[in-house]
A and B are shown apart, each in its own frame.
Chain A
Amino acid sequence: MGNSHPPDRVIHPWPLRLTHWVNAVVIAVMIGSGWQIYDASPLFGFTFPPLVTVGGWLGAAIAWHLACMWILVANGTIYFIWSLASGHFKKLFPIRPSEVWNDLRGALTFRLHHDLGVYNAVQKLLYVGVLVAGVMVVLSGLSIWKPVQLWFVCDLLGGYSVARYVHFFAMSAIAGFIAIHLLLVVMVPKVLPPMITGGRAEP
C-alpha cells in the first residue's frame, strides 16, 4: 500500500521450475528409450544409432519407457493443474498471426528483443504447439500400450497402426521443439539462470 517498491516478482515460480526440470530428464529417457523400441520394428527406412538410444536392448528400453511414462504423465498433470490455477496459461494467449509473423522475422534477423518472463508470439506458438504434441504423444502412447482395453482411445487415434505413426510424429514435434528451445538458450544464455533460481523480473 504505502510501499513505493513493488514486491520482487519471480520470473519462473518454483512449481514451473520443478516440473520443467523433471520433464527435461524424463523426456530425454522417454525419447531415447522410444528410439530403441522404434529400432525393433522401424516405421521408416532408418534406425536410430545406439549412441542416442536408451536401454541397450528392447526389453530394457520398454522397461524404461513404461516406467518413466508415469513420471511424465504425473509431472505433466501437475504442470497443467498449476498452470490453470495460477493463471500461467494466460501468458500463452492470445496468439495473433500478425504478431507471430513479425516476431518470427525479428527472430530470424536477430532483431527480436527478449524480455525475461515475457513470451513473444513465436514462443507462445511453440509452447502451445509442444503442449498439444505432449497430449498427442500420451494419447497415442496409451493406444499402443492398451489397444484392447483402451479401445476408445485407440479408435479415436485411428487404430493401432495409425497410432504408431501419430506417436512417432508427436515425438518428432517434441524433439524439434527441444532442438529449437536449446538453440535459443545457447543464443540468449541469460534465460537459463532464472529457470534454475527463479530470477527476479527486471524493474
Chain B
Amino acid sequence: MSPLYRREMLFRALALGAVSSLPACNYEDPDHPDLADRFLRMMSSWNDRVQQALFNPHTLAPSYRPDQITLPPRFNAYYDISQVTVVDPAAYRLQLGGQIQDKAPWTLPALNALPQQQQITRLICVEGWRVIGQWGGVPLGDFLRRVGADTTCRYVSFRCADGYYSSIDMASALHPQTILALSFLGAPLTPPFGAPVRLRIPTKLGFKNPKSLVQLAVTNVYPGGYWEDQGYNWFSGS
C-alpha cells in the first residue's frame, strides 16, 4: 500500500467515509438493483406521486419578453451537435399509436395547417442551467382531442428519430402550454433543436422535451424514457 494511496484512504475515511462508499449504489446495473437502488426507486415513485398531486393544470409557467430570449440558443443532447439526426421534412410522417381512434400519420404541412400557439418560456435543464426561447406549434391537448385520443389514459409516449424516447402524464399533456412545436425563434425548427416536430412542455425539465418526434402514443402501460430508465425521476415537473 503506497503512502499516497493510504493517505487517500484516510481522507476517504475521515472526510465522508460512509458517504464516499455510496457511489457504488448508483443505478449502474438496472437489472440487478441493490438495496440503495431499491430505496432510490421507491423514493422516486413517491416523488412522482407528490408531483402529480402538486401539479395544477391551471398554473402557467412564466412567460418572458422577446428581449429576454437567450441568444445564441444553447444546443443540448446526449451526443455532440455533429451527430444530430437530420429528418427529411418532405418524407416526414408523425406516426400515432395506442389508444387513439384516428391513427392516420401526419405530414408536416398538415400539422402546420392546424391552429398554432406561440410562447416565450423558460427551459430548465436537469443540470441546473436555464435558457429562454420562443416556440410555436400545435397545443398537444387540441391535437389529442382532434385525433380521438383516450385522454383518460395515463401516459403519452414519444419516440424520436435519433432513438431517444420519453413519456409524460396525461394531465401535463393536456396543459395549455404543452405544444407539438414546429417553430423556434420565429422560424421552422432546425435539426439541432428538434426539426421537424418536437415536444415543448415548459412545466417539465428539459429532457422531457423530446426532439424530432416520429411517433406519439397514448397508453396505460408505463413507457419510461431514455434517461428515466437510467434513474432520472420520471415526472420531472417544474
Partner-B contacts on A (CB < 8 A): 25, 28-29, 32, 37-38, 40-41, 50-60, 62-64, 66-67, 70, 144, 146-151, 160-161, 164
Q: How many residues of B contact A (CB 8 A)?
A: 46
Residues 48-69 of B at the A interface (beta carbon under 8 Å): 51, 54-56, 59-62
- Determine the distance from Cα of A23 to Cα of B202 in the docked complex, in whole angstroms: 34
Neighbouring A residues of B44 by C-beta, 8 Å: 63, 66-67
- Residue B230 at the chain A interface, CB threshold 8 Å: yes
Contact A60 B237 (CB under 8 A): no
Neighbouring A residues of B185 by C-beta, 8 Å: none
A174 vs chain B, min Cβ distance (A): 15
Neighbouring B residues of A148 by C-beta, 8 Å: 59-62, 202-203, 237-238
Neighbouring A residues of B40 by C-beta, 8 Å: 60, 63-64, 67
Contact A37 B128 (CB under 8 A): yes
Partner-A contacts on B (CB < 8 A): 8, 11-12, 15-16, 18-20, 22-28, 39-40, 43-44, 46-47, 51, 54-56, 59-62, 122, 124-130, 202-203, 227, 230-233, 237-238
| Residue in B26, B122, B128 whose beta carbon sits within 8 Å of that of A60 in the complex | B26
- Determine the distance from Cα of A151 to Cα of B124 in the docked complex, in whole angstroms: 14
Given A59-B27, A146-B54: A32 touches B16 (CB 8 Å cut-off): yes
| Residue in B19, B25, B27, B238 whose beta carbon sits within 8 Å of that of A146 in the complex | B238
Neighbouring A residues of B46 by C-beta, 8 Å: 70
Most chain B CB within 10 A, of A53, A63, A144, is at: A63
- Determine the distance from Cα of A136 to Cα of B10 in the docked complex, in whole angstroms: 33
- Determine the distance from Cα of A52 to Cα of B27 in the docked complex, in whole angstroms: 19
Contact B43 A32 (CB under 8 A): no
- Determine the distance from Cα of A67 to Cα of B16 in the docked complex, in whole angstroms: 19
| Residue in B12, B22, B129, B231 whose beta carbon sits within 8 Å of that of A51 in the complex | B12
- Determine the distance from Cα of A54 to Cα of B22 in the docked complex, in whole angstroms: 6
Please name the residue on chain B nearest to A148 by beta carbon. B238
B15 vs chain A, min Cβ distance (A): 6
B178 vs chain A, min Cβ distance (A): 12
CB<8 Å pairs between A and B, sample of 9:
A25-B18, A28-B16, A32-B22, A41-B125, A62-B232, A64-B22, A66-B47, A149-B56, A149-B203
